[in-house]
Amino acid sequence: MSSYSDTKRYCSNRRGGSYYKRPHSSRSSSSSRFSTHHHKNCKGRHFSKAIVQKLLDTDIKHSREQYFEKLRILKILGEGKFGTCYLVTDEKTLFALKLLKKKKYQKNPNKAKFEEDILKTLRHEAIPRFIRKIDDESLIGFILEYKQGMNLETMIFSQGHVFTRNEIYNIGKQLIDILKYLHGEGVVHRDIRLPNVLFNDNRIYLVDFGLARWIDNKNFKPERDFLCLGNFLLHLYYTSFTDKTKKSRPWYEELKLSSKEFVFLKKLMGNEKRYKNIYEVEMDFEEMFK
């Protein structure tokens, strides 16, 4: 049984060679975020500064019912560097409301545009559908289809879930299928990480298209997703790692991997002999679990 500290040690010591981005969970509290007293939403109605502030700054578990436009806020789904994602309802359907702090985008106001443009074009059951845009003087955001599930970061670090080989196969296979679709549509996700993958009843969902871009094979290549996939799978493998010695060794020495698994992960994350496309990745992945 692995522990949080085992995986944490892996996170801080092994960068898989080239890439590791520690999931962030910090949230800034700000009292001067809004310059005017009232804010006009995209339909022209007004909502008060106090409500917006509460939405972003308070733990809604401890406050009374709150609304954003006509949507009732049920809970916070997650918080990131740029904003907060809420579970909301119009009393018929559940939605995910992703509100981003516009201030964070001042240097590059088009940043959220990619997330919007890309999500609008995608039609896949494992990817939330884009419903509507929010654009206010201080907030920018989206209403998205809600995908029910627990993200893998919570599953591992809060629930202590240990993934079996079968579960790793099931999740990896679905992620590869999603990547076949995305890359086929000319999109590279660029942020496949534990908090951006939801799990429910053996199905996975990929969220957070905040870093997604159109593939141009120059700055934005599909290979970036292979690197992330390798790193992501390593996290799943590490859940069953028990640290008997204090001395840390590289992942390929610590984990009990078959030679096919070793070559596969190295190829995903290494500098030499990289995969050319997702179909090559799929072939080796299937071979590895035969």
Ligand X SMILES: Nc1ncnc2c1ncn2[C@@H]1O[C@H](COP(=O)(O)OP(=O)(O)OP(=O)(O)O)[C@@H](O)[C@H]1O
Site membership for ligand X, residue 230 (CB under 6 A): no
Which positions ≥6 away from 135 have C-beta within 8 Å? 42
Site membership for ligand X, residue 82 (CB under 6 A): yes
How far apart, in whole angstroms, are the C-alpha atoms of residue 248 and residue 116?
42
Q: Which stretch binds Mg ion (CB under 5 A): 86-94, 152-160, 196-204, 260-268?
A: 196-204
Of the residues 2, 7, 174, 196, which one makes contact with ligand X according to CB under 6 A: 196
Q: Which stretch binds ligand X (CB under 6 A): 27-35, 168-176, 192-200, 259-267?
A: 192-200
Beta-bridge mates of residue 205:
198
How far apart, in whole angstroms, are the C-alpha atoms of residue 144 and residue 20?
28
Of the residues 196, 197, 227, 231, which one makes contact with Mg ion according to CB under 5 A: 196
Q: Which stretch binds Mg ion (CB under 5 A): 36-44, 67-75, 93-101, 201-209?
A: 201-209
Of the residues 10, 130, 146, 163, which one makes contact with ligand X according to CB under 6 A: 146
Beta-bridge mates of residue 206:
197
Q: How far is the CB of 211 from Mg ion (least distance, A)?
A: 9
Identify the sign of the CA torsion 185, 187, 193, 195: negative
Nearer to ligand X, 208 or 254 (CB): 208
Site membership for ligand X, residue 96 (CB under 6 A): yes
Q: Which stretch binds ligand X (CB under 6 A): 52-60, 190-198, 234-242, 264-272?
A: 190-198
In 3-state terms, what secondary structure has residue 150?
A: strand
Residue 147 partner contact from ligand X, Mg ion, none using kind-dependent CB cut-offs of 5 to 8 Å: ligand X
How far apart, in whole angstroms, are the C-alpha atoms of residue 229 and residue 176?
9
Look at strands 71-79 and 66-68 and give their pairing: antiparallel
How far apart, in whole angstroms, are the C-alpha atoms of residue 155 and residue 239?
10
Q: Which runs of E-coded beta strand occur in the chain?
A: 38-40, 46-48, 66-68, 71-79, 83-89, 94-101, 130-135, 139-145, 150-151, 187-188, 197-200, 203-206, 213-214
Site membership for ligand X, residue 134 (CB under 6 A): no
Footprint (CB under 6 A) of ligand X, residues 198-227:
198, 207-208, 210
Query: In terms of Cα–Cα distance, which of 222, 228, 149, 158 is closest to 193?
Result: 228
Q: How far is the CB of 235 from Mg ion (least distance, A)?
A: 15
Site membership for Mg ion, residue 7 (CB under 5 A): no
Nearer to ligand X, 83 or 222 (CB): 83
Site membership for ligand X, residue 114 (CB under 6 A): no
Tokens encoding 251: 């992942």
List residues binding Mg ion (CB under 5 A): 195-196, 208
List residues binding ligand X (CB under 6 A): 77-78, 80-83, 85, 96, 98, 128, 144-147, 151, 195-196, 198, 207-208, 210
